[in-house]
Amino acid sequence: MAAVMGTLAAAATVVIGLSSPAVAATLFSDDFNDGNASGWTTSGGTWSVVTDGTPAYQQGGTSSDARARAGTSSWTNYTVTAKVKPTAINGSNRFVAVLARVQSSTSYYYLALRSNNTVELKKLVSGSSTTLATGSVTFTLNTTYTLSLQVSGSTLKGTVNGGSTLTATDTQYASGQIGVATFYASARFDDVVVTDSAGPSPSASTSSPTSSPSSSPSSSPSSSPSASPSTSPTTGALYVSPSGTDSAAGTQSNPTTLTSALGRIAAGGTIYMRGGTYNYSSTVTIAPANSGTSSARKTLSAYPGETPVLNFSAQAEDPANRGLALNGNYWHLYGLVVERAGDNGIFVGGSNNIVERTVTRFNHDTGLQLSRIASDTPQSQWPANNLILSAESHDNADSDGEDADGFAAKLTVGSGNVFRYAVSHNNIDDGWDLYTKTDTGPIGVVTIEDSLSYNNGTLSDGSQAGAGDRNGYKLGGEDIAVNHIVRRSIAYHNGKHGFTYNSNPGSLSISNNVSVDNGERNFNFDAGTSVFRNNTSCRFSSGTNDRIIGDADSSNQFWSGTNGSRCTTYSGALGWSYASDGRLVVTFHGVVVTL
């Protein structure tokens, strides 16, 4: 989503504008949920993966400086972002940091958050440091900060929690690895993500359409390639266009079809879809046998700067009529729009996949859903370790109004599935649905983080249908305990509850979330032993007091008839305030959203 602009119910407007790193391809990510730090090289300190609500990479010593680095030395222009929680310091003016263009353990650029309440953009050359830019940031132990360092040519930019940007110019290093570091401090690092500013970028046509849901975009390609049509399939790339043919070579000048390319692409190869509308009447399936490997994913990507729209409006509403079914393993989907399918827009039945910067809209069931491939799929093959990254899902609606969510990982999913930086809005049922039922039993733990759910239960045109649940985040079902994790996420103006246990009596981890003006309760947890930390609940319209059962300490601000001090403005992991006209203004990881 280079930009999103749509007219929503009640004349609310959403404007999402992302800086270039946020629209780039993901080079590297590690949330340490696999319990190890494979691929990281350390120097100094005591490093281990520990559990802090969820797994995190800890440097436990405070008697020296320490570094850990990962990635490749050939990376040039990129942004590295990490969640950093300082836990102890030894002395004064200590720091935690993220590193970029690392040459060695003593040479790199770094963004340092210091215990003297400053943030510094610096370089280290053979152990000698130089300060390039500095600013003020409050430093508090056991508080999680988002540190982001961008390197693009000679320009360096650093932010803390998406706030004011430190900028400097330096030509010392042109490329290098990424890393994290401490200086006489212990800390925990999580959710390390590296995005390439030179990666493919979907155009603004991924925006919510201003036309009515019955209309379809133009079928003409959005632009012509600037590169010469010389790349052949033997180099690992195939090219697809709306006018391609099955028997075509798959070069830029002679593109093939998507279904043909899926059957021909090798592990490590990329299928580039040209812009325009691809009309289908049956499901496009990536079969289980059509898989990449852990070291050589298969990629299905929008051509840089263009937007392919997979349109399934010819399908009738039916559970068999999915749009794009990703049943293979080790795939990376990037920059696709999937719309108007008779059931799910994108269905993920495989494992170890990345689904990035997709838009699923106007489908007749959940926009993007993870579940087992078939009723006889053994539990050991339920979809696991999938990452849904920077995706948007909206205006999905079934005829009875009860089942079409924005995102779902429900009924039959394995462990390790993560939704990150995802936005779900104006779906007829829930924003997220993690439902379980007795005949299939518990599902694996799902993590939802840094995400936004709003206006679910009402479509963008203001219509409602059926008896949908209309929650922002629905986290269970049928009294089956699963210890899901939801952190640093926002629920706003959903038709029923913002965050709800939905009969999940487990020990959920609910931390650093914001819930505002949902129809009934902002937080609804009637059973279980869930742990609540640093959550904020506010109301500027009518609603019911929050219901909390579990471990909730004074770090939370729940609503019980009056607002607390955080409800004027909040500057935690997700900053927000109210505009003069009463609308909610959210600073969402560098994104400004007015609701």
Look-up of token digits 């952190």:
487
User: Mind listing the pLDDT tens digit for each residue in 55-103?
Assistant: 899 999 999 999 999 988 888 889 999 999 999 999 999 999 999 999 9
Contact between residue 505 and residue 481 where contact means Cβ atoms under 8 Å apart = yes
The per-residue DSSP string of 262-286 comes to: HTTPPTT-EEEEPSEEEE-SS-EEE
Beta-carbon-side half-sphere exposure of residue 587 (alpha carbons within 13 Å): 15
Neighbours of 342 (CB within 10 A): 23
Q: Is residue 486's pLDDT more than 80?
A: yes
Among 141-155, 355-369, 566-580, the least confident range = 566-580
In order of start, what are the domains of the chain with their CATH numbers?
A: 3-24+199-207+273-594 (2.160.20.10), 26-196 (2.60.120.560)
Ranges assigned E (strand) in 472-546: 473-474, 485-487, 490-492, 499-500, 509-511, 514-516, 523-533, 536-538
> pLDDT at residue 26 above 80?
no
Q: Is 570 a residue whose pLDDT tops 80?
A: no
Question: If you average pLDDT over every residue of the chain, what do you get?
Answer: 86
Q: Which amino acid is at 12?
A: A
Average of per-residue pLDDT across 103-109: 95
Q: How far is CA 1 from CA 9, 31, 200, 300, in A?
A: 21, 23, 12, 17
Segment 242-272, tens digit of pLDDT: 999 999 999 999 999 999 999 999 999 999 9
Q: What is the CA radius of gyration of the chain?
A: 23
CB 297 within 8 A of CB 332: yes
Position with higher pLDDT, 500 vs 225: 500
% of residues, the chain, pLDDT over 70: 85
Does residue 358 carry a pLDDT above 90? yes
Average pLDDT on 119-148 reads: 93
- Structure token digits, residue 2: 């280079």
The whole-angstrom separation of Cα 144 and Cα 161 is: 9
The pLDDT of residue 583 is: 64
- Please state the pTM of the whole predicted model: 0.66
- Token reading at 595: 């609701």
The active-site residue out of 83, 157, 298, 474 is 474
Whether pLDDT at 433 is above 90: yes
Amino acid at 148: S
Measured CA to CA in angstroms, residue 158 lies from 85, 134, 195, 309 at distances of: 17, 10, 14, 35
Of 61, 82, 60, residue with least CA distance to 70: 82
Identity of the amino acid at 400: D
**Amino acid identity, position 521:** R
CA distance 414 to 422: 20
- Please say if the pLDDT value at position 200 is more than 80: no
Burial class (CB within 10 angstroms; exposed 0-12, middle 13-18, buried 19+) of 417 = buried
* Residue 515: Cβ within 10 Å count: 28
Q: Is 487 exposed, middle or buried (CB count within 10 Å of its CB: 0-12, 13-18, 19+)? A: buried
Looking at residue 264, its pLDDT comes to 95
474 labelled catalytic: yes
